[in-house]
Amino acid sequence: MTEKVDYARTKLQPPSPSSSIIFVSSKNEILLLHRVKTSSSFPSAHVFPGGNISLQDGEFLPQDIDPARHACDDALQYRQAAIRELFEESGILLAKDQVTGRLIYVNQADRERGRHAIHEQRVTFRQWLKEQKPTAEPDTDALIPFTHWITPANMSKRFTTQMYLYFQPFPDSSEERSGVGFRVEEELREEDQIPSSDGGLEIQEARFLPACEWLKMSRSRQVILFPPQFLLLHLVSRFLDRLPRLEGASMEEMKRRRLELLRFVHSGSPPWTQKCILPRTIKVLPDKRHVLALDSPGLEMQGVDKRGETEMVVLVRFEKEGPRDVDVRWKKDIIGNDTKASL
């Protein structure tokens, strides 16, 4: 059991439970959302779809009773929030028929009306879903845990975020659910899952690109990526962006890359499905970039058998507009002052 943190005494901000989806398209591209510059969280940054857990996702212990409530990572509430937030922010609906096990089809006009009604709290996601099809339910089983992140204690706004992978079905897929390709309703077409902004409420653009392209844009300062997004894109890119590039890869090759990524996600000690990470600065390089260690799960996880990533570190320059010049390196190389070594 976790040891409760005395937030009043320590003057720390309790982290808010949230979740995010690393959504992999049928072309093995990754969905990122460009947040508006007036956003209270991650302004102007490119982020994975996601957000805070709400009561409609399921009840958590109130913060003032048990601030360490986020210790139950990968609870059903996290999964339901991830799918609801994806729908609200991008219009992509991940719901299946309980009878057939297939993803359901809802036309674009109804999806647009639904996502705004849910965001405005005129209806819950589950209520709206049942109105579309009584046997529909969020496709929570297809989410694959891929690290849990906790915001450093010195930040005024903190989150405890469960990350998930989700693989969009390939076109005309008739496979049984296998983790890389799922059955879908006959009417569900690829163009029905094209993402869109939420009208500028929080998101100004929703876009698919290969993970390697997002990383390239971050390195050239065209987009802002926070360390968790950069690291996870870096890991995903190692498998999904291998040569030949996506446009030249067959469907069988794309499936093989997904399977290799899945094997990686379930590997390690602990596996990446269970890593819990609170980034912390262990060194500042001569170029003013911070070296973030990823091995600690943080104060809230004391007394719980949770560990982070011990072999990699993230380099980042913190600027007023957000994190810049982010990169991923082997920890042994950085501790040895070899700042040019790269993964």
Q: Is the previous residue joined to 270 through a cis bond, with omega within 30 degrees of 0?
A: yes
Q: What pLDDT is attached to residue 186?
A: 46
* Contact assessment for residue 158 and residue 150, using Cβ atoms and an 8 Å cutoff: yes
> Does any domain span residue 15?
yes
80 pLDDT more than 60: yes
The pLDDT, as a whole number, for residue 337 is 57
**Please, which residues have CB within 8 angstroms of residue 336's CB and are 6 or more apart in sequence?**
none
Burial class (CB in 10 A: 0-12, 13-18, 19+), 244: exposed
Listed residue (194, 185, 230, 189) closest to 212, CA to CA: 230
Average confidence (pLDDT) over 103-123 = 92
Q: In whole angstroms, what is the distance from residue 252 CA to residue 325 CA?
A: 35
Residue-level pLDDT at 126? 93
How many structural domains are present in the chain?
Answer: 1
> How many percent of the chain have pLDDT more than 90?
60
Q: pLDDT tens across 210-264, in order?
A: 999 999 999 999 999 999 999 999 999 999 998 766 566 788 899 999 999 999 9
pLDDT digits (tens, 9 = 90+) for 292-332: 999 988 877 777 788 999 999 999 999 999 999 999 999 99
In a domain, 183, yes or no: yes
Q: How much is the mean pLDDT over the chain?
A: 85
CA distance 129 to 138: 8
124 assigned to some structural domain: yes
Residue 296 lies in a domain: no
Could you tell me if 333 and 312 are in contact, meaning their C-beta atoms sit under 8 angstroms apart? no
Instruction: Output the pLDDT for position 178.
Output: 47
Q: Over 90: is that where the pLDDT of 342 sits? A: no
Evaluate whether residue 182 is within a structural domain.
Answer: yes
Structural domain boundaries enclosing 244? 10-277
Token pair recorded at residue 191: 């163009």
**Residues 6 or more apart from 202 whose CB is under 8 A from it?**
35, 36, 39, 89
Whole-model pTM over 0.95: no
What CA–CA distance (Å, rounded) separates 119 from 66?
Answer: 27
List, for residues 25-75, the tens digit of each pLDDT value.
Answer: 989 999 999 999 887 778 899 999 999 998 888 766 555 445 455 555 678
Collect all residues with Cβ–Cβ distance below 8 Å to 171 and sequence separation of at least 6.
Answer: 26, 189, 190
Which residue, 234, 205, 225, is CA-closest to 91?
205
Least Cα distance to 271 among 234, 235, 233, 300 occurs for 235
Question: In this structure, is residue 100 part of a structural domain?
Answer: yes
Cβ(23)–Cβ(166) under 8 Å? Answer: yes
Residue 169 has pLDDT above 60, yes or no: yes
Q: What average pLDDT does this structure show over 10-14?
A: 72
Residue indicated by tokens 């219009």: 91
Take residue 75 and report the two structure tokens written for it: 């609870």
If you average pLDDT over residues 91-105, what whole number do you get? 92
- Residue 285: inside a domain: no
**Under 8 Å between Cβ of 20 and 163:** yes
Q: How far apart are CA 21 and CA 91, in angstroms?
A: 14
- For residue 77, what is the domain's CATH number? 3.90.79.10
CB 218, CB 326: distance < 8 Å: yes
Residue 136 lies in a domain: yes
